[in-house]
């Protein structure tokens, strides 16, 4: 990730504290005391920012921790491209925090829909509506969810067209996560036969779902959700 150094962190509406870049520079060189000072300077701002985004104090606290860890693991890629090095440092951390918040909110929306499939709003406020404008809107996420459901439905229809012997193997392999050897043991057939049937099944699915091969990939990635 590259911080763009505009002098103001994205979505924070606050100017960066002076001296952040000097601390970041020393932290990147391995100075633990500089990191502690950077942490002290930014942690309250990050916490307030994330509480504002996710409206959940406990979740925000976890996301703050995740933000620091993610930034630490990616610190070699930090670079200043703008006129304000201090702002670039703040933007770097707040961009990571915002991305983590969006991921968390998306997971919350998915979880709510899973629990209450008939209630698109989940009966509560939609936290995604309060994310800054350059992030996916609830409508975009709604479209994404609808598209995913349609894809899932299409793949399930395609699965239903498979011969029973092939469908059973696909379900055991992708939905239950069994290995080919485990499937062979369960069905009491040779592993080679399982592999041949699986190959034919996936080939047929790919043909039926073409051009939307992505659908199959989505289904496989979801583990048959």
Partner 1 sequence: MTIDAKALIADDLGERRRERLQHFRPAWLLAVAIPIVGLVATGARDDFWAQPTWILVLQALVWGLALFVLPALGLGLWFPGRAARIALGLVAAAVAFLVAAGPALLDRSYPTGLEDHPIYQIGCGALTLGAGALVLAVCALSGAFAQRRRSAGALWLAAAIALVGIDTTTWHCVITGLEHTLPSHLGAGVLMLLVAGLVGAALHRRQREAA
Query: Residues in the site for partner 1, rule: CB under 8 A?
Result: 26-36, 39, 43, 62, 64-69, 72
Beta bridge partners of 15: 8
CB of 73 to partner 1, least distance (A): 9
Written as one string, the DSSP assignment of 10-64 is TTT--BPPTTHHHHHHHHHTT-HHHHHHHHHHHHHHHHHHHHHHH--HHHHHHHH
Q: Cβ 90 to partner 1, closest distance in Å?
A: 17
Radius of gyration of the chain (CA): 24
Q: Is the dihedral of CA 14, 11, 24, 5 positive or negative?
A: negative
Q: Which is nearer to partner 1, 32 or 164 (CB)?
A: 32
Least separation, in Å, of the C-beta of 105 and partner 1?
16
CB of 46 to partner 1, least distance (A): 11
Contacts of 142 (CB under 8 A, 6+ apart): 120
* Pick 32 or 160: Cβ nearer partner 1: 32
Residue number with CB closer to partner 1 (101 or 183): 101
Exposed (0-12), middle (13-18) or buried (19+): which is 42, by Cβ within 10 Å?
buried
CB-nearer residue toward partner 1: 88 or 215: 88
């Amino acid at each position: 990730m590259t911080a763009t150094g505009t002098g103001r962190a994205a979505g924070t509406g606050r100017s960066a504290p002076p001296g952040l870049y000097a601390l970041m520079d020393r932290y990147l060189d391995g100075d633990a005391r500089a990191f502690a000072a950077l942490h002290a300077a930014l942690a309250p701002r990050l916490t307030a920012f994330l509480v504002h985004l996710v409206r959940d104090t406990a979740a925000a606290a976890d996301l703050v921790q995740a933000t620091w860890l993610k930034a630490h693991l990616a610190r070699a890629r930090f670079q200043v491209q703008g006129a304000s090095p201090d702002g670039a440092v703040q933007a770097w951390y707040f961009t990571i925090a915002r991305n983590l918040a969006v991921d968390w909110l998306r997971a919350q929306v998915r979880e709510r829909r899973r629990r209450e499939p008939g209630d698109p709003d989940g009966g509560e406020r939609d936290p995604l509506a309060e994310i800054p404008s350059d992030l996916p809107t609830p409508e975009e996420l709604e479209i994404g969810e609808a598209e995913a459901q349609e894809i899932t439905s299409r793949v399930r229809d395609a699965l239903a067209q498979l011969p029973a012997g092939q469908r059973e193997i696909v379900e055991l392999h992708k939905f239950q996560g069994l290995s080919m050897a485990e499937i062979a043991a369960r069905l009491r057939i040779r592993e080679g036969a399982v592999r041949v049937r699986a190959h034919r099944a996936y080939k047929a699915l790919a043909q039926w779902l073409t051009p939307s091969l992505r659908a199959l990939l989505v289904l496989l990635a979801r583990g048959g959700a």
